[in-house]
Amino acid sequence: MSKANTDIKLFNKWSFKEIVIPDWTLEAYINLKPIIIPQSCGRHEHRRFWKTTRVSIIERVINRLLSPGFIASKVKGRKSSYNSGKKNKLIKVLKNAFILIELNTGKNPIQVIIKAICNSAPREEVTRIAMGGISYSSAVDISPQRRVDLGIKYIVQAISARSHSNERDFAANVAQELILAADNSQESRAVKRKEEIERIAVSSR
């Protein structure tokens, strides 16, 4: 990495230096290239798998929150006022959430969100297998890229569920879920969802 890149900080506040990915199997699929504003303007969308190699992991979380209909369809009909193209607004919300994380934990919020994704990524899941007119469930290992995708997905769903009918600021809910997931706490909805998926897979072995 060049010397110029080492001086780049997220929002000109948080350094990418010394950020550690706890799970080495996910290192190739978590992009930690230094960036000031997590905004790639969709340069990756026409190339397969470019979201993994070219898009910052911070922007991937934001993009998942922005997915039209994702929160509404996946979390019991709940909708978020931060989706449907309001990316600049959500970037400011994430910046405020990172400030809260730093104040509450004293840690680099980039490290916190990386640990949260790793702790929310399941290692096993159940798939349906059909053979001779008979279908049954079987446990399968999850590829590293899908593990990262699922980790981000469960965190976004947990943030949406935590924000529903909650008077707290949205940034505070984002910060709370990321801190709990980074600590691998049972109070984190994303971690509980991961453990539920793995528990079902163990019973289907």
Report which of 204, 30, 5 is spatially closest to residue 117, judged by C-alpha positions: 30
Q: Which of 55, 73, 54 shows the shortest CA–CA distance to 156?
A: 73
- The predicted model scores a pTM of 0.82
Q: Which residue has the higher pLDDT, 51 or 11?
A: 11
pLDDT band at 80 (very low <50, low <70, confident <90, very high): very low
For the ranges 9-18, 75-84, 168-177, the lowest mean pLDDT is seen at: 75-84
In this predicted model, what pLDDT tens digit does every residue of 57-71 receive, in sequence order? 998 898 888 875 544
Q: Structural domains in the chain?
A: 3-203 (1.10.455.10)
Roughly what angle, to the nearest 10 degrees, separates helices 144-163 and 57-66? 50
In one-letter notation, the amino acid at residue 193 is R
CB 130 within 8 A of CB 43: no
What 78-86 contacts at long range (C-beta under 8 Å, 24+ apart), as own/partner pairs, is 78/160, 78/161, 78/164, 80/160, 80/163, 82/170
Q: What is the pLDDT of residues 178-202, one digit of tens each?
A: 999 999 999 999 999 999 999 988 8
pLDDT tens digits for 89-146? 888 989 999 999 999 999 999 999 999 999 999 999 888 888 878 888 888 899 999 9
pLDDT for 18: 86
**What is the mean pLDDT of the segment spanning 22-44?**
85
Tokens encoding 127:
């798939």
